[in-house]
Structure 1
Amino acid sequence: MPVMPINRHSVKVPNEIFLADPEFHKSSNVDILIGAEYFFDLLLMGKSRAPNQTAVLQETVFGWIFSGRHNSPQFSKQQAQAKNKVACNLMKFHDLPILWELREESSTKLRSDEEQAAESHFLQSTKRLGSGRDENSDLQTQYIDCVEGYLGEGHMSLFSNQEASRPGYYHPHHAVIKEDSLTTKTRVVFDGSAKTSTGVSLNDMFMIGPTIQDDLFSIVTRFRSHPVVITADIQQMYRQIRVTDNDRFYQKVLWRKNQDEPIKTYSLNTVTFADDEKDAFPEATKILKRDFYVDDLQTGAKTINEARQLRDELIRLLQKGGFNLRKWASNKPELSQDLSSETSNKYMSLEPSDTIKALGIHWGPKSDSMLYSVNLSDSNDRATKRSILSQCSKLFDPLGLIDPVIVVGKIIIQQLWKHQVGWDDQVPPEVHEMWLEYKKQLPLLNTVRYQRCIVLNSSIDSQLHGFCDASEKAYGACLYLRSTDNRGNHHCELIRSKSRVASLKTMTLPKLELCAAALLVQLFNSTIRSLQIDFSKKVFCSDSTVALNWINSPPHMLLTFVTNRVSEIQATTKPTDWRHVPTLDNPADCISRGQGPHDFLNNTLWTHGPQWLSCHENNWPQFDFKLSEVPEKRSPKTVVSFTITQAGINILIKYSNFKKLQRVIAYCVRFIRNLKIRVKTPRQMGPLLPNELNSASRIILKWTQYEVFSSEIRALSKGKQVDQKSSLFRLNPFLDDGLIRVGGRLDRAPIPESQKHPIILPKNHHVTKLIIRVELLKKLHAGTNATLYGVRETYH
């Protein structure tokens, strides 16, 4: 099914072939999906490929089908990007089993080519303006008022007949009612994801830019570390950013106030900035980049005066861009009340007694506590996988503060997958009983309260303590902040936690314990980046002696699964940071086993950790464990260690003939290979084969590059860019199987790979001169271009 219509005449289909879908070139809706288990039963022997086409004609029981990639001449660059984007989205689509899959998590944020292009386009095409920036009659009135507000404020304007006839995109729009909103109850939402007659929406055509704000978890975690906090949001943020005239044709809307008026075509003039002012507002600029999530602000400071200064600086900075901050709230009432002295109400502040929902978190400024609101359906409809999943998804807990309860819902969902229950089938009796008991207790979570600030006032010392645990059902980790004030008082508070349901694939408990330890390290890394706190001590605890022995072992002595996770753990923490703790003193045990809301409310261990953490360190119990032999260890016979000293690769300059150097290296590689192979495998003898010579050439090229570009290779191997002072920086280099190649935008060009991304050779190097000499002898008097072509074709 093509994402876009393709030119039927560009596809050469023999007349004698009967097509299963004669209109295969048209983009339309999918009628039916056939399971993969039937796919190969439908295929027949016939297959044909037209000349100069990458797609194929495949015979099936339904007739012949057209399949593969087709580059239609009518595709523009933007259409091709949209097509690839849709295909990519389908490939990345995942189902709920991701909740229990074992996967590696990376903290490295690498920007794709599309993200870089999107950011570049934004910087080049935007500029600061001088200003800086239906049956329900009530609903109808509010809807009209909202749209007329767009017109009155210049955010929407009428197109002339000539402008309206230009190609573009029409946005469907509808009302969204938010009863708990303190400002606008009814809002008009414009849908850029609606598909057109081509099967593609406006959103499909957009480049996806990089994420430039901090993630929600980091912002909320940091929000809990400030003694004094303030929150606000930007009024009509998207409507303060004006689009260019050329782009307005892709923001068309149809509108009339009542049925007596003709329908007219309008354009949205605004989209449905900090570096400019960073010198004048340095602190506010930093907060604007760090503590905003879209249009919501959550930030703070150590004192009221610092918070007030930050608030006023943010107001002035955002006014420069035409943005207005409003709905102010703070745990210190004076920070929101002294805004009332303004002549207008544009700095609207909230009552301290109001409960605020910001970034999905309910926060009471007066009590300075975080709470939960659970509103589940009271319907007596039968429980199905669809309804259970829908109600479980309403439990939003970004910091994992109620993870012991959340993990029970994950386990129930996993059981439904394990029983292969359909979306609307009746669930098995044992799961149904478990769900009803769980659902009945969930409203108890409305009484849960957490102290917002996790640090003692006048704190002089902070420590981070982590716990991890696993069971056959689930595994998880939790982090606690232990702070000490100038009077010697100690206080321990839960920061955040994370849970995973155990994989459906059978796995030993020690391996799951190790997965929990790796999860704790991931949680630790993300938390450290979020909190602006210097910790005097970091302690990690587990009740698994096997996992602790693995963590204290050299990774190369262990088998692959264990090696990968131990390496990850040791990359951030030291084995001496890890301690053994009894299960009764391990709060992560609450996650691994799960708890119903009733048991969770009576859990004194979870919120503040083990009691001894709030005591002086001299009173901490000593939980020692002995290092011993562990499972999943490599046999000593297979362990080989090397000590390599790099003192220059002199062999490269020993020969004055490249072919001789190539053959010497090839024979050396063959000799080493013959020493390693077992008796059952035949040894290589006789003349050198082409693949051996090619392999030797690659080795020579790698050594040559390493001699000159060692720092560039180290940077690229870590996923970083080369230094801007490097001679290779302008070539956009990348590593391909250990070799540095020229980057660029020729990926889809119809030219050989060696011309798209040629290997980089250092000038004036002995090997480079040998290679050029060989090609000059091949193509005597052929010129520079022919010589370069020969080099690229031979050494690609």
Structure 2
Amino acid sequence: MLHNTLLHRQIQKSQAVNKSQWGDKKTSSNTPHQVNQVVNNAAAETHFQKRHVYLATAVVNVISSCGVRVPCRALLDSGSQLNFVTTSLIQQLGIKKYRKDTPISGIGAQECRSEFVASITFESRTSAYKAIIETNLMSRISDYQASQEIDISLWKIPNDIQLADPSFCKSNQIDMLLGAELFFDLFMPGEYRISRDLPTLRNTKLGWVVAGSASASNSSSHCHIVTKPSLTSLDKLVRSFFETESHDIPITTESEEEHQCEEYFKKYTTLNSEGKFVVKLPFKENPIISLGDSLSSARKRFLSLENKLNKDKELKKSYISFMQEYEALGHMTPLKKGSIPRVHYVIPHHCVMKPESSSTKLRVVFDASAKTTSGRSLNDILMVGPTVQPDLFSIVLKFRMHRYVFTADITKMYRQVLLSEEDQAFQLIFWRSKTDMPLQLYKLNTVTYGTAPASYLATRCLVKIADDKQDKFYRASQAVKNNFYVDDCLAGADNIDDAHELLNEIISLLKTGNFELKKFCANNPMILKEISEDDKEKLVTFHQSEIIKTLGLIWDPSQDVFKFCFNDEKISKINTQITKRTVLADLARLFDPLGLLGPVIVIGKLFLQELWKLNMTWDDKLHIEKAQKWINYICQFSDLSKLNIPRYVLRPSAKTIELHAFSDSSLNTFGSCVYLRSVDENN
């Protein structure tokens, strides 16, 4: 028997099987939902002469779209980080599937892909156990189990033991694979060894499973490991690096889910008596069905956080201050004792430090991706929503076209948008400022940073203001739609009076939705003549993500130039272990959205290319010479802080504007550069 669940090697069968043993097929609807993941599959095959190894299988009841219980045969596999189901079973169940492209690589670099996922509910036949899981669809999961039928009539299995799979000894199709997410949760106390030469019976919530070896004429067994790496900090750095390097024109076609999210926003978004937006969470799955218990895990994480805070007085003081302000502003309120909604979700939280911020050094982040006992989180069942603002590259380019410019920031933008009262049950948190106080549940009353649709909901409200008020504030409405990156405004005009007027108009427009601008900067003080000194900033730092940058782009309005700030605390040191992983991390922290440092950064890319040619793994330590070469390179970035690049790229009162593009290549790299040439009346 070749039990190779993901490499799909061919095995000869005496006859083809065209449908599941459990019933006929049904068609299902198809909703595109693009998500990219990477899955690694390491497989090893071992042959045993005259021994057959039984893998743990169970027959469970899967709930169809009509509520009908359909039996299917599941393989329990602790070596898989993913759950799998056959496409034919999903069709039979009539369950909706979603596009989720998952490349899977196996031993010997063999590859296959899972293109869809589906959320399924299954129940034990022998207990009250029930679970909701996300499964990856495959045309085939495994070869038939068992690979050959064995006579077990002489096996002395006690009558009071209820087998999870009564036909474990017969060769049948595998319809589903339950991975490590559930594997160990399924096992219960209880083990029975039939005899020394026979498999062991182990008690689970699905019944007693049979696992182990028994005599057979000829057999082979197979074990496998499937890993699905999460978006670790390195993954985010890789993604950030290549997103920054790519300036392709974005595809504006909405997916079906994005369209549904837009329609949901239009249907349910309202204004309250104070003129504030009230939105609803855009669910794509029914939370009553999909969410399990979250109280226990959230409580454990809060107690762990509390223990950490108690060891750092300054951190605890800042955390308490943040939460006290949160409550004082009415953005969170305590739940009355005994009033926990029947269907709810408790969000764990932690803090991130932002030392470069002029206002809030500490920010509390809410983790709505924390799994419940069903294996699903709040973010798993929410729509993310489409991007409704231009990308940062486009905004900064436009920012360079105006002679007089200003920037500003919407203060606490997400928290100016209220969440409907019925949805606040899905934004509960634990909090107390002192350990001797009772642990209190609070509800978050506004759009919360850390929930999947937060950015969409907040920025979509800005777009709605612009659309609704464009008759009265036309210039400001265009600026809000075209010159905002999340909560940052970068706009301008060709003379001081127009810039000043535009700023005031934007302020007035945003006030209609209870959004307030702060942190003003301008390259001419007359633009900000009505702004208090407390609300002004001296420098503007451009951000694209939460990743702390080694090298970042800033704008100095006093000189009206772009500069690069260097953070030497984030670079690798010669006394630390330099690996391919740390090299990529250093490179990805170089934030250059306009490509101004292309000739410098390409040297780092070529160095990384050398490491790939050496077939080094991510964590192989670099030879001392190469490590020193990398340190010498990265330390030179401090010299870039002396570089001043004019922000304004035109001549005042230009008559003509031309674009001149150049490109060239060498054996190692290629590049291009586009210049803008403007000619005024004096030529």
Same topology, TM > 0.5: yes
What's 1:695 paired with?
Answer: none
**Distance (Å, rounded) in 2 between the aligned partners of 1:425 and 1:23:** 25
Contact 1:54/1:68 (CA < 8 Å) preserved in 2? no
Which residue of 2 is the match for residue 244 of structure 1? Answer: 420
> Residue by residue, what CA displacement relative to the aligned partner does 1:84-139 show, whole Å, maximum 9, x if unpaired?
xx99999xx99969969x99955541111111111111111111222233132232
Answering whether residue 472 of structure 2 is matched by residue 280 of structure 1, we say yes
Equivalent of 1:115 in 237, 258, 271: 258
Pairwise mapping of residues 90-105 of structure 1 onto structure 2 (< 5 A)? none
What is the CA-CA distance between 1:288 and the residue it aligns to?
A: 0.3
Deviation at 1:478, TM superposition (A): 1.1
Query: Aligned partners of 1:387, 1:23: CA distance in 2, in Å?
Result: 29
Aligned pair partner of 1:316 in 508, 524, 548: 508
Tell me whether 1:301 sits opposite 2:503 in the alignment: no
Aligned with residue 362 of structure 1, among 543, 546, 554: 554
Report the counterpart of residue 657 of structure 2 in structure 1.
462
Report how far residue 441 of structure 1 moved.
1.9
Q: In 1, distance between residues paired with 2:558 and 2:589?
A: 26
Distance 1:303 1:105, change over 3 A: closer
User: Which of the residues 586, 591, 597 maps onto 1:396?
Assistant: 591
Given the superposition, is the C-alpha separation of residues 227 and 244 from structure 1 closer, same or farther in structure 2, using an over 3 Å criterion? Answer: same
Q: Give the match for residue 106 of structure 2.
A: 36
In 2: Cα distance, 1:156 partner to 1:145 partner: 14
User: What is the Cα deviation at residue 397 of structure 1?
Assistant: 0.2
Q: Which has the higher contact order (CA 8 A, sep 6+)?
A: 2
1:452 aligned onto 2:647: yes
CA contact (8 A) 2:351 2:364 kept: yes
Q: CA deviation at 1:418?
A: 2.1
What are the residue-to-residue correspondences of 1:573-588 with 2, within 5 Å? none
Q: How far apart, CA to CA, are the structure 2 residues paired with 1:128 and 1:477? A: 49
Q: 8 Å contact 1:384–1:426 — kept in the other structure? A: yes
Cα distance change, pair 87–112 in 1 and its aligned pair in 2 (3 A): farther
Q: Distance in 2 between matches of 1:441 and 1:88?
A: 34
Among candidates 77, 81, 94, match of residue 21 of structure 1: 77
Select which of 256, 273, 277 maps to 1:130: 273
2-structure distance, mates of 1:466, 1:130: 54
Q: Distance in 1 between matches of 2:172 and 2:615?
A: 32
Distance between the aligned counterparts of 1:180 and 1:223, measured in 2? 22
Deviates more, 1:464-473 or 1:215-224: 464-473
Could you say what secondary structure the match of 1:367 adopts? coil
Q: 1:142 to 1:7 in 2, by over 3 A?
A: farther
SS in 1 for 2:380: helix
Are the aligned partners of 1:24 and 1:66 in contact in 2 as well (CA < 8 Å)? no
Give the direction of change, closer, same or farther, for the CA distance of 1:318–1:181 in structure 2 (3 Å limit).
same
Distance between the aligned counterparts of 2:319 and 2:584, measured in 1? 33
CA contact (8 A) 2:368 2:379 kept: yes
Alignment check: 8 A CA contact 2:407 2:491 kept: yes
Which structure has more strand as a fraction of its residues? 2
- 138 and 433 in structure 1: CA distance in 2 versus 1, 3 angstrom threshold: closer
Structure (1 or 2) with the larger CA radius of gyration? 1
What is the distance in 2 between the residues matched to 1:369 and 1:286?
Answer: 25
Distance 1:365 1:397, change over 3 A: same
Cα deviation, residue 215, structure 1: 0.7
Hey, what does 2:195 align to over in structure 1? Answer: none
Shift of 1:363: 0.8
CA displacement at 1:371 relative to structure 2: 0.5
Read off the aligned partner of 1:21 and give its amino acid letter: D
- Work out whether residues 405 and 491 of structure 2, in 8 Å CA contact, stay in contact via their aligned partners in 1: yes
In the alignment, the residues of structure 1 paired with residue 397 and residue 247 of structure 2 have an alpha-carbon distance, to the nearest angstrom, of 23
The answer to whether structure 1 residue 336 and structure 2 residue 479 are counterparts is no
Q: CA deviation at 1:12?
A: 4.3
Q: How does 1:110-259 map to 2 (within 5 A)?
A: 110-133=253-276, 134=309, 135-259=311-435
Q: Distance in 2 between matches of 1:458 and 1:39?
A: 60
Specify the SS of the correspondent of 1:389. helix
Q: 1:468 offset after TM fit, Å?
A: 0.9
Partner of 2:637: 442
1:430/1:312 Cα in 2 relative to 1: closer, same or farther (>3 Å)?
A: same
Structure 2 residue ranges without an equivalent (≥5): 7-36, 38-57, 63-69, 85-102, 112-137, 148-167, 179-226, 277-308, 449-463, 544-551
Matched residues in 2 for 1:463 and 1:24: separation? 57
Seen in structure 2, the aligned counterparts of structure 1 residues 366 and 27 have a Cα distance that, compared at 3 Å, is: same
- Compute the RMSD of aligned alpha carbons: 3.9
| Residue identity matched to 1:37 | I
Could you tell me the TM-score, scaled by structure 2's length?
A: 0.59
| Equivalent-residue separation in structure 2 for 1:290 and 1:208 (angstroms) | 21
The CA deviation at 1:59 is 4.6
Asked if structure 1 preserves the Cα contact closer than 8 Å seen for 2:82 and 2:228, the reply is: no
CA contact (8 A) 2:415 2:446 kept: yes
Alignment-derived partner of residue 9 in structure 1? 61
Distance 1:141 1:94 in 2: 30
Q: Distance in 1 between matches of 2:108 and 2:172?
A: 16
What's the % identity of the aligned pairs? 35
- Matched letter for residue 180 of structure 1: E
Within 5 Å, which residues of 2 pair with 1:47-58?
Answer: 57-58=142-143
Work out the CA distance in 1 between the residues paired with 2:637 and 2:78. 55
SS of the residue corresponding to residue 110 of structure 1 reads coil
* 8 Å CA contact retained: 1:57, 1:65: no
C-alpha contact (below 8 Å) 2:572/2:582 kept by paired residues: no
| CA distance in structure 2 between the partners assigned to 1:95 and 1:443 by the alignment | 21
Kindly state the Cα deviation for residue 201 of structure 1 after the two structures are TM-superposed. Answer: 2.3
Report the secondary structure of 1:167's partner residue: coil
How big is each residue's C-alpha offset from its partner over 1:447-479, in whole Å with a ceiling of 9 and x where there is no partner? Answer: 111001001122121111111112222212111
Is 2:389–2:481's contact at 8 Å kept on the other side of the alignment? yes
User: Which has the larger helix fraction?
Assistant: 1
- Could you tell me whether the CA contact under 8 Å between 2:404 and 2:523 is conserved in 1? yes
SS at match of 1:339: coil
- Number of the residue aligned with 2:16: none
Q: Which runs of 5+ in 1 are unaligned?
A: 42-52, 72-85, 489-796
* In 1, Cα distance between equivalents of 2:262 and 2:395: 23
CA contact (8 A) 1:27 1:199 kept: no
Give the direction of change, closer, same or farther, for the CA distance of 1:37–1:104 in structure 2 (3 Å limit).
Answer: farther
For 1:441, give the aligned amino acid: Q
Residue 472 in structure 1 maps to residue 667 in structure 2: yes
Following TM superposition, by how much is the alpha carbon of 1:151 offset from its aligned partner in structure 2, in angstroms? 1.6
Is this contact kept in 2: 1:7–1:25, CA < 8 A? no
**What is aligned with 2:12?**
none
Give the Cα–Cα distance (whole angstroms) in 2 for the partners of residues 184 and 270 of structure 1: 19
For the 8 Å contact 1:54–1:70, the answer to whether it is kept is no
Kept in 2: contact 1:57–1:67 (CA 8 A)? yes
CA positional deviation for 1:213: 0.3
Q: Which residue of 2 aligns with 1:495?
A: none
User: In 2, Cα distance between the equivalents of 1:89 and 1:110?
Assistant: 27
Aligned partner letter, 2:77: D
Amino acid at match of 1:112: S
Query: In 2 relative to 1, CA 381–118 (structure 1 residues): closer, same or farther, beyond 3 Å?
Result: same
1:590-739 to structure 2, matched below 5 A, reads none
Match of 2:536 among 349, 353, 356: 349
Cα contact 1:55–1:69 (8 A) shared by 2:
no
> In 1, distance between residues paired with 2:263 and 2:417?
17
Q: 2:610 aligns with which of 415, 440, 443?
A: 415
Partner amino acid, structure 1, of 2:590: L
